[in-house]
Amino acid sequence: MTPEFAAEVIKAMILQAATLAAPVLVTAMTIGLAVSLFQAVTSIQEQTLTFVPKVVGICGLLIVLLPWLLRSTIEFTTALFQKLPQMVQ
């Protein structure tokens, strides 16, 4: 395995991880911002108010996006296994 090929594989892995994590992180950040804004406006400082909406939103998002997440992961893994002979050289 050449250093260039290893760098290409690592770059693809990091890009894949960022692509899969981005929807969840953006959803959590958006819900967190909305809840923080709501708490600032109403002066409610309840701890569960920040946790429960994030959990519900992220679980709902994962249910909707799970087919795409799995398909993307399987395609990436398949492509990685197809490049395996090049890695051994």
Which DSSP string corresponds to 4-56?
Answer: HHHHHHHHHHHHHHHHHHHHHHHHHHHHHHHHHHHHHHHT---HHHHHHHHHH
Inter-residue contact 73 to 17 (CB < 8 Å): no
Q: Which segments of the chain have a pLDDT < 50?
A: none
With vertex at residue 36, the alpha carbon angle to CA 32 and CA 40, rounded to the nearest 5 degrees, is: 175
- pLDDT for the residue numbered 26: 96
- pLDDT for the residue numbered 73: 96
- pLDDT for the residue numbered 87: 77
- pLDDT for the residue numbered 22: 96
